Structure 1
Amino acid sequence: MNASSPAPLAALIQMTSGIDPDANLATIDRALAAAAEQGAAMAFLPEMSLLLDRDRARSGGHIAREADSPWPSALQAMAQKHGIWLHSGSMPLLADDGERRVNRSHVIAADGSIRARYDKIHMFDVALPSGENWRESASYEGGDALVVVDTPLGRMGLSICYDLRFPELYRALADRGATIIAIPAAFTVSTGEAHWHVLMRARAIETQCHVVAAAQCGTHADGRETYGHSVAIDPWGTVVADAGGTEAMAAKDYALALAPIDAAGGELARQAIPLERSRAARNIML
């Protein structure tokens, strides 16, 4: 990119995904059309964008191995139709070699090809002070691979939601050349109010990468409530876009926030605070 070229735009698509995959796909199609019309180079969906349903029996009828699922191909066709790169957020699929589920992201190019896949590593097994109890590992198995992929916005490291709380993962992605990190999420309201913005900013500051986090928001058909506030953070820790909370979802079934991803931002942050040089000087091996 030369000095006169504008920074490419990331489109954060905030959703209230429900238990009907076809309805969710229709929402995604409308949102992608809007993102493309506004000049976004790449769009980002939230965690579980295709199906958000904690009823295992009900959701089971929709979930298949990737080779048998209609969802990836539907998103591929949409990316190609709208001429835009797409991060799927994530979707529930059956593991390729077993009966347990995986929480999987896809990065899809504007020509419809899948450029990367990532299975969420850390399972959300918690008992919150609010009284909420979540045991993701009861149905899902965690992934075991770090993934980075080249995109129009830069070299992207992949993660999902609860991964956010493990800084060592993001250090490893930065060590593999990531300049931007995707963190699609479905944060609970209580943890979102307490930790969402501060953790997102911390991951950006400590890695000196852009962070792009599309989120679920509002009251869902399965009864859960999510925090929203899809955000883009620059490598200095500045919030450059925030889609807001439930008020942003009042007019339609998604909210769209655009954020410029300036490749120079990471270099400026590294020049100001040379973390790698300081690590090398102290001979710290992480």
Structure 2
Amino acid sequence: MTVTRIAAAAAHFGRNLEHDLGRIGKLIADAHASGAGLLVLPDAALGGYLADLRHPDPSAFPPALTPDDPLFERIAAAAGDLVVCVGYCEADGPDRYNAAVCLTGAGVLGRHRKVHLPAAESVAYCAGDSFAAFDTPAGRIGMLIDYDKTFPESARTLAVDGAEIVACLSAWPASITNAAPKLAQDRQSRLFDLYDCARAAENQIVVVSSNQTGAAGGMRFLGQAKVVGPAGNVLARTWAKAGLAVAELDVALEIANARRVLSHLAELRPEAYR
């Protein structure tokens, strides 16, 4: 029996990288204090997200970091034996990607570039082209960024690749076109929660969903960080507030129990799908 504490963060991040690093350091310290073995930070935790999804302004894009930027060494040093997933804008020559890296003090464990680009995000970023799981001290993990989780194939590909935990890093705002008076009534708020639970239940895996809070430009970010079990049950959540959602579970045992009678991955019929 291996019990792991898993933390999903809800927090606001902007363009000031030093300020972002300070907030990341505080969240890492809080995760350590909670006894967590895995911390999932939001999308764009280093440098913030776009300020306008409909008409992105190139002069206001997030700072682009190379994968070997010294900032990551500082995060790794703070992480120590904690597995940390963090989102940033990645520079690859002239191209930019909405990206995430998973690391510990021992080094990088895995990377992901956002595949599905919503609205006008393609003005700011190139699209990634793959999903792959990787081994970590907290278990086998795959990462999704934001809009990726809207597509069932994304999490399914990771689950088929052996992911026990899918980390969903988001900068997910309330609806831009149909604003609701309260976030709890917002369409995007409902979808954010629905996708988290559906991706966990349909693959019988653990989903760790982080998100930004606060506002940027004309967008209000939802928060709603959570840890979801393999039956689609929410084990811990932050609601709309900033903070950590921390859940303690034996990941392998929970997955085995969920798949004891109905094992979705074992019962797939890919030859029937077009």
Bin the TM-score by the shorter chain. 0.7 to 0.9
Task: Give the distance between the partners of 1:151 and 1:53, measured in 2 at CA.
Answer: 27
Structure 2, unpaired ranges of 5+: 51-56, 176-186
1:260 equivalent in alignment to 2:261 = no
**Structure 2 match to 1:164:** 149
SS of residue in 2 equivalent to 1:275 = coil
SS of residue in 1 equivalent to 2:44 = coil
**Structure 2 match to 1:183:** 168
Q: Indicate the percent of aligned positions where both proteins have the same amino acid.
A: 27
**Structure 2 match to 1:141:** 126
Amino acid in the other structure paired with 1:240: L
On the 8 A contact 2:7/2:208 being kept in 1, the answer is: no
**Structure 2 match to 1:114:** 108
SS of residue in 2 equivalent to 1:156 = strand
Aligned with 1:226 (options 217, 221, 228): 221
Shift of 1:285: 5.8
What is the root-mean-square deviation of aligned Cα atoms in Å?
Answer: 2.0
Task: Give the distance between the partners of 1:73 and 1:217, measured in 2 at CA.
Answer: 25
* CA deviation map 1:225-251 (0-9, x unaligned): 111100111000100011110xx24xx
Task: Give the distance between the partners of 1:117 and 1:74, measured in 2 at CA.
Answer: 17
* CA deviation map 1:174-220 (0-9, x unaligned): 11111111111111112532301111111011111100011101223
Normalising by the residue count of structure 1, what TM-score does the alignment of the two structures yield?
0.83
Task: Give the distance between the partners of 1:274 and 1:145, measured in 2 at CA.
Answer: 25
Task: Give the distance between the partners of 2:265 and 2:215, measured in 1 at CA.
Answer: 43
On the 8 A contact 2:7/2:227 being kept in 1, the answer is: no
Distance of aligned partners of 1:165 and 1:30 in 2 relative to their CA distance in 1, 3 Å threshold: same
Task: Give the distance between the partners of 2:122 and 2:198, measured in 1 at CA.
Answer: 26
1:32 equivalent in alignment to 2:28 = yes
Distance of aligned partners of 1:31 and 1:276 in 2 relative to their CA distance in 1, 3 Å threshold: closer
Task: Give the distance between the partners of 1:216 and 1:94, measured in 2 at CA.
Answer: 22
On the 8 A contact 1:148/1:176 being kept in 2, the answer is: yes
Residues matched between the structures, number = 256
Normalising by the residue count of structure 2, what TM-score does the alignment of the two structures yield?
0.86
Task: Give the distance between the partners of 1:266 and 1:93, measured in 2 at CA.
Answer: 33
**Structure 1 match to 2:72:** 72
Amino acid in the other structure paired with 1:13: A
Shift of 1:156: 0.9
1:103 equivalent in alignment to 2:98 = yes
Shift of 1:92: 0.5
SS of residue in 2 equivalent to 1:66 = coil
* CA deviation map 1:85-106 (0-9, x unaligned): 1111x100212xx312111111
1:152 equivalent in alignment to 2:137 = yes
Shift of 1:114: 0.5
Q: Identify, as 1 or 2, the structure richer in helix.
A: 1
Shift of 1:278: 3.4
* CA deviation map 1:148-190 (0-9, x unaligned): 1112332111111100111112211111111111111111112
